[in-house]
Amino acid sequence: MSVVGTIAVTCPACGRDSECQLVQSINTRTQPAMKAKLLAGELNVLACECGRRTLLAATLLFHDPDADFYCQVVPGGDAAMTKAADLFRASGATGTMRLVPSPNALVEKVKIVDAKLEDWAVEMAKLLLLASLDANDLDRVMLFDHADGEAIHWILYDGAQPEPAKSPRAAYEKLAARALSRPVAREMRIDRAWALTAVQQMIADGN
């Protein structure tokens, strides 16, 4: 199923009203072009004549049937997330289900799935890398970019310019092999907060 519509949006910069395409559902098998737009950061963006680009805050369901992976963008905070999780469970869909707050977070999840990595182990590896950079600042914006045989490659977004970072692939593999850390099926929010708890548990376990 694809949900594509058009909505009227007011540009926050100049106040001009424009019609904008709004995509609320992507199936990667039937809509590869929509996935490409998402990865390029061009999905659900109002490109105003004045030059301002505005990302629309909208619910978006991403489904990759080949990876058996679902991910839903849920703007609107914790209450909206909880409601979406209940609906997701009630839908009877099987496979991996994730809820994320923004299209950028969805893009990261899609890159992780495409790299055939486990997102929970990626989040743990990310947190450990952040801790090694600065143990007092674990809230820096860093996103998975790609992986090769040697390393996991990241991009740090908190400076004036995006900055690359990397961590050893072997460290990720070690985390991914930890059955104890693997989230239960009901757990749909695999993010920084989840990783912090998982890493603290790993340290408490002493292995």
Please answer whether residues 10 and 17 qualify as being in contact, where contact means their C-beta atoms are separated by less than 8 angstroms. yes
Cα(197)–Cα(11) distance, integer angstroms: 40
Q: Are strands 142-147 and 151-156 parallel, antiparallel or unpaired?
A: antiparallel
* Cβ closest to Zn ion, residue 14 vs residue 177: 14
Stretch 50-69 residues interacting with Zn ion (CB under 5 A): 50, 52
- The residues facing 60 across adjacent strands are 73
Q: Which residues are paired to 45 by β-bridges?
A: 55
3-state secondary structure of 130: helix
> What is the closest distance, in whole angstroms, from the C-beta atom of residue 34 to Zn ion in the complex?
25
What does the per-residue mask of binding to Zn ion show for 151-190, with x meaning CB under 5 A?
----------------------------------------
Neighbouring residues of 7: CB distance < 8 A, sequence distance ≥ 6: 19, 20, 22, 56
Closest contact distance (angstroms) between CB of 16 and Zn ion is 5
Give me the amino acid identity at 124: M
Which range binds Zn ion by CB under 5 A, 5-13, 29-37, 94-102, 133-141?
5-13
- Which residue number, 13 or 177, has a Cβ lying nearer to Zn ion? 13
Stretch that binds Zn ion, among 10-18, 87-95, 129-137, 145-153 (CB under 5 A): 10-18
Among 23, 48, 81, 107, binds Zn ion (CB under 5 A): 48
13 binds Zn ion (CB under 5 A): yes
76-115 positions binding Zn ion, by CB under 5 A? none
Least distance in angstroms from the C-beta of 51 to Zn ion: 7
| Per CB under 5 A, 11 contacts Zn ion | yes
Identify whether the C-beta of residue 7 lies closer than 8 Å to the C-beta of residue 22: yes
145 forms beta bridges with none
38 is a contact residue toward Zn ion (CB under 5 A): no
Q: What whole-number distance in Å separates Cα of residue 29 and Cα of residue 33?
A: 10
| Contact partners, residue 1, CB within 8 Å, separation at least 6 | 25, 27
Token output for 176 = 């991914």
Applying CB under 5 A, does 20 fall inside the site for Zn ion?
A: no
The count of residues interacting with Zn ion (CB under 5 A) is 7
Instruction: By CB under 5 A, name the one of 3, 4, 7, 14 that touches Zn ion.
Output: 14
Q: Which residues bind Zn ion (CB under 5 A)?
A: 11, 13-14, 16, 48, 50, 52
